[in-house]
Amino acid sequence: MNKCQLLRKDRQYWLKQAHSHRTLANAWGKFSENNSIKHLTVINVLQYLTSMEADLAMLTWFDSLTIKGEIQLSVPNTDYYIEKWQSANWDNQDLLNADSSARRAFAGLWGAQQNCNPRNDNYDPIQQDIYKSGYNQARLKLLMERAGFCEIQINVEGAQINASAIKTMHRGERQISTQYDQIRPDHLNRYEFACEQLAGLTENAQVLDLACGVGYGTLMLARHTGAKVTGVDIEQAAIAHAKQYFSNANTCFYCQDAKLLDISASTQDAVVSFETIEHVDFDQQLLDVFFKVLKPGGKLICSTPNQDVMPFDPKKFEFHLKHYTNLELTNMLYKSGFHQVILFAQHDPVSGKVIPGSDGCFTLAIATK
């Protein structure tokens, strides 16, 4: 599917392609196979969605695009209409004049509101032309970045905002952003915990961050420990993103398959790998590799969902192969050769702090070689 257009017309959502068009039940439901559209145009849809509907819609649109696929968006400029609202004359004459600044500002902020008069026969409490949210340049950029879009270009032309962006990588469960304040707190909290645990490292220390994603955690480790940190991920686009947005003199990034990890034995003072083993079919082999590359006395800091609290469901966790009980995880670490394992927990699956214990949604382990 090369090109699609999603728009709202006659109070319905329409999907238009080269030789066909059809209505959609909503704007956020899946309307194509993932990674199947090269170019998606979305015309004046977002303002009809609540904030949470818009978040879900943007994720759906992101998933529908191919790698290097492009989205183009248009949405009313809320800042423009706020200015018009503040400068409008609010009197009966202006309210009766459909072309007045007051009426245009009202429609720009809250929609034309057709079929919204309960005195009229065409009143429809469901199919109403009402805006549920508003956007300026910063708000639209944030929404697109949170979904994983890169190379975002936004052009403000008076009452209209036009934007374009590219899908550079498969999102999966990666946090894709260029700024830390857009990374989910539970992800940041894990890396903050690792930084605290590794605070005693020297500037000559070597740390491996495996499955580093776009590299925000790699940079955190480098900044807080002063060590040399190597970030490794299987996704080339993620590594390119890391090099562009999350690198400094103490970081380096490589695209490698963990099965073929090219790091010499007994060279790393620490290995950090969060939410990794549940994604691979070589979990024990991966833990063996971590043990191999660590120096004697080196630490592995890893995390994974806790099967006892967050049971594995393939429909809910489409990118996971399994979850682990604390006993399973501990036994696997001992099997790889680690001689000391200490468990920690995150209770909240979205914003949880790391605390001592083993009864969280996520289990973190510190294992010593």
Q: What is the CATH number of the domain that holds 140?
A: 3.40.50
Stretch 202-213: mean pLDDT: 96
Residue 57 reports pLDDT greater than 70: yes
Residue 52 reports pLDDT greater than 70: yes
Structure confidence at residue 1 as a pLDDT band (50, 70, 90)? low
Stretch 158-180: mean pLDDT: 89
pLDDT value of residue 127 = 63
Structure confidence at residue 306 as a pLDDT band (50, 70, 90)? very high
* pLDDT tens digit sequence for 121-167: 888 777 678 999 999 999 999 899 889 898 899 999 999 999 999 99
Q: Is residue 141 located within the same domain as residue 241?
A: no
Check residue 68 and give left, alpha or beta (phi > 0: left; psi -120 to 50: alpha): left
Stretch 107-127: mean pLDDT: 82
Average pLDDT of the chain to the nearest whole number = 93
Least-confidence region, from 120-124, 274-278, 326-330: 120-124
For residue 4, the enclosing domain spans 1-168
Q: Is residue 237 located within the same domain as residue 116?
A: no
* Paired tokens of 85: 């609202």
The helix (H) or strand (E) run that includes residue 232 is strand 228-233
User: What dihedral do alpha carbons 176, 179, 185, 190 form, nearest 10°?
Assistant: 80
Answer whether 148's CB lies under 8 Å from 178's CB: no
pLDDT value of residue 288 = 97
3-class secondary structure, 313: coil
Stretch 10-36: mean pLDDT: 90
Give the integer Cα–Cα distance in Å for 218 and 191.
9
Structure confidence at residue 352 as a pLDDT band (50, 70, 90)? confident
Give the integer Cα–Cα distance in Å for 244 and 151.
12
Higher pLDDT, 207 or 112: 207
Winning range, highest mean pLDDT, from 19-33, 165-179, 194-208:
194-208
Residue 43 reports pLDDT greater than 70: yes
Structure confidence at residue 349 as a pLDDT band (50, 70, 90)? confident
Q: Is residue 120 located within the same domain as residue 238?
A: no
Q: What percent of the chain has pLDDT over 70?
A: 99
Last residue of a domain, one of 114, 133, 168: 168
DSSP 32-96: S-TT-EEEEEEES-GGGS-HHHHHHHHHHHHHHEEEEEEEEEEEEBHHHHHHHHHHS--SHHHHH
CATH number at residue 362: 3.40.50.150
Stretch 44-54: mean pLDDT: 95
Q: Is residue 251 located within the same domain as residue 299?
A: yes
pLDDT value of residue 94 = 83
* Number of domains forming the structure of the chain: 2
Give the integer Cα–Cα distance in Å for 6 and 26.
11
The verdict on residue 363 lying in a domain is: yes
Q: Is residue 84 located within the same domain as residue 201?
A: no
Structure confidence at residue 177 as a pLDDT band (50, 70, 90)? confident
Q: Is residue 144 located within the same domain as residue 69?
A: yes
Stretch 174-180: mean pLDDT: 86
Q: Is residue 346 located within the same domain as residue 203?
A: yes
Residue 338 reports pLDDT greater than 90: yes
Q: Is residue 141 located within the same domain as residue 243?
A: no
- pTM tops 0.85: no
Last residue of a domain, one of 135, 168, 201: 168
Q: Is residue 226 located within the same domain as residue 137?
A: no
